[in-house]
Amino acid sequence: MSMPAPPRLLDLAGQSLLRDQASAIAALERLPMELFPPLFTAAFTGRHSETLKAMVQAWPFACLPLGALMKEQQPHQETFQAALAGLDVLLAQEVRPRWKLQVLDLRKNAHQDFWTVWSGTRASMYSLLDPEVPQPMKKRRKVEGCRPGPKPPLAPVEVLIDLCLKERTPDESLAYLIQIAQQRKGMMHLCCKKLKIFAMPMQNIKKILRIIQLDSIQDLEVNCTWKLSTLGKFAPHLGQMGNLRRLLLSHIHMSSHTTLAKEEQCISQFTAQFLRLHHLEELYLDSISFLENRLDQVLRCLMTPLETLSITNCLLSESDLTHLSQHLNVSQLKDLGLSGVSLTNMSPEPLQVLIERASATLQDLDLDECGIMDSQFTVILPALGHCSQLTTFSFCGNPISMDVLENLLRALAANSTNTLDLSAPPPWIQSPSLTSGCTKVGLSCA
């Protein structure tokens, strides 16, 4: 039976320090920077709140990736707030000490290797070549005979966080972070790359958005059951997200009590924000009740070609589809989704033109539950055959016959690899090669 490895001197030193909180805090000024990460981990695990608070103030690296540590361990509320309290004390100092904390990263999927590397469980603790991993700050050498000039203003500390707003009010930790951000405005920038909004009153959402650097948001999901008027109130904040790359908007409905003039005002207020989104690449619109006969109003305001366009479970008119097929910003689509959009009574030509225009780049096409009939599929087949990059084509819920299915497979056989989701065959088709429900078929051609 193998014997457990004896504790390292590093671990023993950390345990000894943490037994005496006052000594641990007093030792921070002389502590080698290599000892900070393992000692911080031990303090975090052991819930030594006061030591944590002091270590945040004394952190010798440009970045403190607290979120990665929280991913490994479920943080105690008090422990997390102690770290935030340390940041608050640091921000309150007019003259900060030699320590150089610039970024407090609360994202759980960033800097995954930092704590592992610095704990000594890898071969070399100095193999941090990835610029994403925080590096120790080097001291500047003092030049003799030079007069110190006026000190530049202290740079604000950035706090990086991904937010998911799914409660009526922020939890205790988020509320504390918001409080610090409000009190230390100008000294702390709260940056949020990913923001998800599921359920929260608009007044609370606005309160949070007021303290976030809105131009830091790159990925926004609004998955709420909102009235159109609520979307209108949110719209000005959307326009300030100048670096937004992905937008998902779901379940926006119109109220029967809203006048037509008010509807148009809210829709115009929303669509006008796209004029300011110069980096938007992915747009997902699901269950949006106001799109019918107004899709062109949205498309006209798009400033850049999209890579992904998904319009699902929405009512569209034939003119909407025609405008979509003619729009300049769809010619570079990699992912097109129209799942749940009824196309049964529409001419297939606009869809055929749309697929043809995107054929050079299209990789994923989703036409699930569109009610496309044999005659319509026959029209779009040549365009599908031109999609040389197509890897996934999903068309569950379209009642096509075996003849059209065979023609479809032949049209796609020229491509190197295609993965198809096949809808359930009509009940009059009996074939051992098809089963009920959705079936995935892979085509590989030499």
Q: Does some domain include residue 39?
A: yes
Mean pLDDT (the chain) is: 82
Q: What is the pLDDT of residue 121?
A: 45
Q: What domain count does the chain have?
A: 2
**Measured between alpha carbons, how far is 312 from 308 in angstroms, rounded to an integer?**
13
Q: What is the pLDDT of residue 367?
A: 95
Phi then psi for residue 98, to 5 deg, are -70, -15
Beta strands 194-197 and 163-165, pairing class? parallel
User: Residue 349 is part of a domain; what is its CATH number?
Assistant: 3.80.10.10
| Residues with Cβ within 8 Å of residue 416, at least 6 apart in sequence | 444, 445
Q: Does some domain include residue 315?
A: no
pLDDT tens-place string over residues 90-100: 888 876 665 68
**Measured between alpha carbons, how far is 338 from 395 in angstroms, rounded to an integer?**
10
Q: Which two tokens stand for residue 383?
A: 């365009």
Point out the domain boundary residue: 60, 91, 118. Answer: 118
**Measured between alpha carbons, how far is 384 from 194 in angstroms, rounded to an integer?**
34
Point out the domain boundary residue: 99, 118, 137. Answer: 118
B/e letters for 330-368, b = 16+ CB within 10 Å, e = fewer, are bebbbbbbbbbbebeebebebbbbbbbbbbebbbbbbbb
Q: Is the pLDDT of residue 104 over 60?
A: yes
pLDDT tens-place string over residues 283-337: 999 999 999 999 999 999 998 999 999 999 999 999 999 999 999 889 999 999 9
pLDDT tens-place string over residues 166-204: 877 788 888 899 999 999 988 999 999 999 999 889 999
Q: Decide: 425 and 402 in contact? Cβ < 8 Å.
A: yes
Q: Does some domain include residue 81?
A: yes
Contacts of 199-207 with C-beta under 8 Å, sequence gap 24+, read: 199/165, 199/166, 199/167, 199/168, 199/224, 200/165, 200/166, 200/167, 200/168, 200/169, 201/168, 202/230, 202/233, 202/234, 204/165, 204/168, 204/169, 204/170, 205/165, 205/234, 206/233, 206/237, 207/178
**Measured between alpha carbons, how far is 188 from 178 in angstroms, rounded to an integer?**
11
Q: Does some domain include residue 144?
A: no
Phi then psi for residue 364, to 5 deg, are -130, 130
Q: Which two tokens stand for residue 350?
A: 């606009």
DSSP 307: S
Identify the band that residue 215 occupies on the pLDDT scale cut at 50, 70 and 90: very high
Q: What is the pLDDT of residue 406?
A: 85
**Measured between alpha carbons, how far is 191 from 217 in angstroms, rounded to an integer?**
7
Point out the domain boundary residue: 53, 83, 118. Answer: 118
User: What does the DSSP assignment read for 219-270?
Assistant: EEEEEEEEEHHHHHHHHHHHHT-TT--EEEEEEEE--TTS-HHHHHHHHHHH
| Domain limits for position 348 | 329-446
Q: Is the pLDDT of residue 124 over 60?
A: no
Identify the band that residue 419 occupies on the pLDDT scale cut at 50, 70 and 90: low
Compare 139 and 109 and report the one with higher pLDDT: 109
Strand order from edge to edge, sheet including 219-227 = 163-165, 194-197, 219-227, 246-253, 282-288, 308-312, 335-337, 364-366, 392-394, 417-422, 439-444
Highest mean pLDDT among 21-30, 57-66, 346-355: 346-355
Q: Decide: 417 and 442 in contact? Cβ < 8 Å.
A: yes
Phi then psi for residue 28, to 5 deg, are -60, -35
Q: Does some domain include residue 272?
A: no
Q: Does some domain include residue 261?
A: no
pLDDT tens-place string over residues 231-274: 999 999 999 999 999 999 999 998 878 888 999 999 999 999 99
In 3D, which of 249, 273, 253 has the Cα closest to residue 263?
253
Q: Does some domain include residue 338?
A: yes
**pTM, rounded to two decimals:** 0.84
Q: Does some domain include residue 400?
A: yes
